[in-house]
Amino acid sequence: MKRSDGRAPDELRKMEAKTGVIKRADGSAMFRIGETIAYAAVHGPRELHPKFLQNPEKGLLRCNYNMMAFSGSGERVRPSPNRRSREISLVTEKALEPVLDLTAYPNAVIDIFIELLQTDAGTRCAGICAAAMALADAGIPMKDLVSALSIGYLKNEIILDINGEEDMNEGATDIAFACLPRTGEITLLQIDGEIKKEILLKGLEKAKEAARKIADIQRKALKERYHDKNVA
């Protein structure tokens, strides 16, 4: 099957990654896949307010996903958080938490803010990729990176990294996926649509392979930043 933008089924869109793009943050990154562009900033670990939320045994990871008002494919998106963005914020936290040791930050919070500048499907995945890089950029110890992408199941075929046009297809199944690229452990899995178990498992294996390619790009962007620092 030919895809609308001419890609092979397991071919990802063009990616671009940069770290240290927001100087006031402790860590930051930009991640672009196709036309979807995400910024992420990490503030912390810092003291958690209000105080009653503080936990002396474990720090808190707090994520906020937001689409800029002009970044949607149609009308302006209202700036206040909605049910969709709040759920994405939650699953983003859960996608990232397994690589962190939050017990090292008692009473503290690590805040991650994600802003989408432009969207063409796969926004939560792009946000997670940017956020993982921002965490590493902030110097927070991590077991591994987290790499995320969408998996589509369309006309009896698994396709990776679906774009907005493919997402609009009637009967398409859309899967949001994130994993630790080294071990393949899965930290985000959301399925919208019908799919058989065997096909799903096949899709997950393909996605793990693709996640390693994304991790290469994330890692390269992190190395470039520290290389620059050494020169300066």
Q: Note the residues at the interface with another protein (CB under 8 A).
A: 21-26, 35, 37, 39-41, 43, 46, 64, 66, 68-76, 79-81, 111, 113-115, 117-120
> Which pairing describes strands 108-118 and 60-67: parallel, antiparallel, or unpaired?
parallel
| CB nearer another protein, residue 21 or residue 154 | 21
Q: Helix or strand or coil: residue 173?
A: strand
CA 179 to chain centre: 10
Q: Quote the CA–CA distance of 151 and 157 in Å, as a whole number.
A: 10
**Per DSSP, what are the bridge partners of residue 151?**
160, 175
| CB nearer another protein, residue 29 or residue 180 | 29
Torsion angle, CA of 7/91/43/59, rounded to 10 degrees? Answer: -140
In the complex, what is the shortest distance from the CB of residue 183 to another protein, in angstroms, rounded to a whole number? 30
**Per DSSP, what are the bridge partners of residue 112?**
42, 63
How would you classify residue 196: left for phi > 0, otherwise alpha for psi between -120 and 50, otherwise beta? beta
Torsion angle, CA of 118/95/152/33, rounded to 10 degrees? Answer: 30
| CB nearer another protein, residue 71 or residue 173 | 71
In the complex, what is the shortest distance from the CB of residue 117 to another protein, in angstroms, rounded to a whole number? 5
Neighbours of 102 (CB within 10 A): 17
In the complex, what is the shortest distance from the CB of residue 68 to another protein, in angstroms, rounded to a whole number? 6
| CB nearer another protein, residue 10 or residue 64 | 64
In the complex, what is the shortest distance from the CB of residue 35 to another protein, in angstroms, rounded to a whole number? 5
In the complex, what is the shortest distance from the CB of residue 143 to another protein, in angstroms, rounded to a whole number? 25
| CB nearer another protein, residue 117 or residue 200 | 117
Q: Quote the CA–CA distance of 126 and 33 in Å, as a whole number.
A: 7
| CB nearer another protein, residue 93 or residue 111 | 111
In the complex, what is the shortest distance from the CB of residue 74 to another protein, in angstroms, rounded to a whole number? 5
